[in-house]
Structures are given as structure tokens and as C-alpha cells.
Amino acid sequence: ALCALLRDDVLWVANAGDSMCVRCARGDAVVMTHMHRPSELAERALVEAKGGVVLWYNDAWRTNGTLSVSRSLGDLSTSAYLSRDAEVVRHDIDFAGDEFFVIATDGL
């Protein structure tokens, strides 16, 4: 899940899962959030601390062998093992340099 709030000249972005926000600044792509994958050591530790396991299945590391994310707001079948804590990023808009933002998700 990903959401963005633009208030005055500040953009707030919150992400939990495999969504991303990227900004174009002076022609360069700048990643603002990262995907929360169980393949990352810190994310794997979150899953394991909740009693879940991270397994290699179908060419990807997966929480309990099914989900390829370690944070989510849905996914009720494995929700006990997922973190619901969003990564929150604040960005002060640079009106001279920021050209556009891409907010991408494969979810609802």
C-alpha cells in the first residue's frame, strides 16, 4: 500500500509493501521509497520476530512460502507475520528541480 499527501510545499509518502514512489529531479530518477521484501535482512528479521518463516519458493524469498512482501495492510492469511508499519518519507518540493513523481502499485 502506498499513499502520498501534498501539503503546501511538502510531499509526504507512506509505503508498506511492494509499491514505490520515484521522483524525477533535473532529469534523474530518485527513488523515494523501497520495496519491503523478505529477502532483505532487516525485513526478514521482522517476519521471524513475529513467528513467521522466510522460504525460497518459485524463484523468490517469501513470507511463509507465499507472499513476496514483509509488510502489508491486507493479506489476512499471513497477517500475523507481516509488519503493518509504513515507511514514511518527507520531501520538501524543489520547484526548480522536481519535475514529476511516479507513484506505482500493483494493488488496489
Task: Bin 51: left if φ > 0, else alpha if -120 < ψ < 50, else beta.
Answer: left
pLDDT band at 78 (very low <50, low <70, confident <90, very high): confident
Q: What is the mean pLDDT of residues 31-38?
A: 94
Burial 21-46 (b: 16+ CB within 10 A, else e): bebebeeeeeebbebbbbeeeebbeb
pLDDT band at 24 (very low <50, low <70, confident <90, very high): very high
d(CA 32, CA 39): 20
For residue 56, pLDDT over 60 is answered with yes
Would the CA dihedral through 16, 69, 103, 10 be positive or negative? Answer: positive
Highest mean pLDDT among 25-29, 64-68, 75-79: 25-29
